[in-house]
Amino acid sequence: MERKSIKLVICKDKNAVAVSSAQIFADEIRRKPAIVLGLATGGTPIGMYRELIRLHKEEGLDFSRVVSFNLDEYLGLAPEHRQSYRYFMDSNLFNYINIDKSNTYILDGLSKDPKGVCRKFEEDIKKAGGIDLQLLGIGRNGHIAFNEPGCSLDSRTGVVNLTQKTIKDNSRFFKDESEVPRQALSMGIATILEVKKIVLLTTGEGKAKAVAESVNGPVTSKVPASYLQHHSDCTFVIDKEAAQNL
């Protein structure tokens, strides 16, 4: 596979990251109102979602024909669990915009047939015509979605084990570390590389090493985000702190 360069937008702070990434999403939604979005959870996209809600309320940004697919979901958490990614999406974005919730696809973490759910998710993406614009975050260990170090380039949506580092990082959202699920359902690397356009957001010096390795390092399973060098339209929108090792 050919190696391409990841584009960089370096912003002065996390607020500027939120505004400039929301602008990219808003422009694409206006250009293609029935756009298929790939969405992410975590701490980083909250500011961008807040800005999209503002654009909806104040400038009439219309989500009525938008379709969305979320990157991942914890295995074993019900949609109404406060730490589930369905709950996150509803409470940070979907409840405040005019998206049709039946067009928002999030993997079912409670299903008795997780593999079947993952297969159907891939089919649903295909039926929707593929993902036009994918939002990503990045873990300190370079993970994208829940594709942890060691994952393969040809992985598809499936059940994955979380690393100790990710469990520890994500425990800030739970009462304590023992409550963090050990497994998740996640889009695979190959699934992500099939999208038309990728925007990865990150902020803070804790991500600087992962950012530098992903952008300038070799393409390696040790840093899953380095696989993004294989994509022809991938932009990292980051703040100065996350850019300090570039």
Marked catalytic residue, from 51, 73, 122, 148: 148
Residue nearest ligand F6R (C-beta atom): 137
Q: What is each CA distance from 195 to 126, 232, 236, in whole angstroms? A: 11, 10, 15
Give min distance, CB of 155 to ligand F6R, in A.
Answer: 14
Marked catalytic residue, from 143, 170, 213, 231: 143
- Asked if 239 is an active-site residue, the reply is no
Give min distance, CB of 157 to ligand F6R, in A.
Answer: 12
For the stretch 160-164, contacts whose Cβ atoms lie closer than 8 Å and that sit 24 or more positions apart, written own/partner, are 160/184, 160/185, 160/186
28 HSE (CA, 13 A, CB side): 22
Report residue 37 CA to chain centroid gap.
10
Q: Which residues bind ligand F6R (CB under 6 A)?
A: 40-44, 71-72, 137-139, 143-145
Q: Which CB, 46 or 57, lies closer to ligand F6R?
A: 46
* DSSP 3-state of 96: helix
- Asked if 231 is an active-site residue, the reply is no
Q: Which CB, 57 or 168, lies closer to ligand F6R?
A: 168
Q: Which CB, 70 or 229, lies closer to ligand F6R?
A: 70
Active site residues: 72, 141, 143, 148
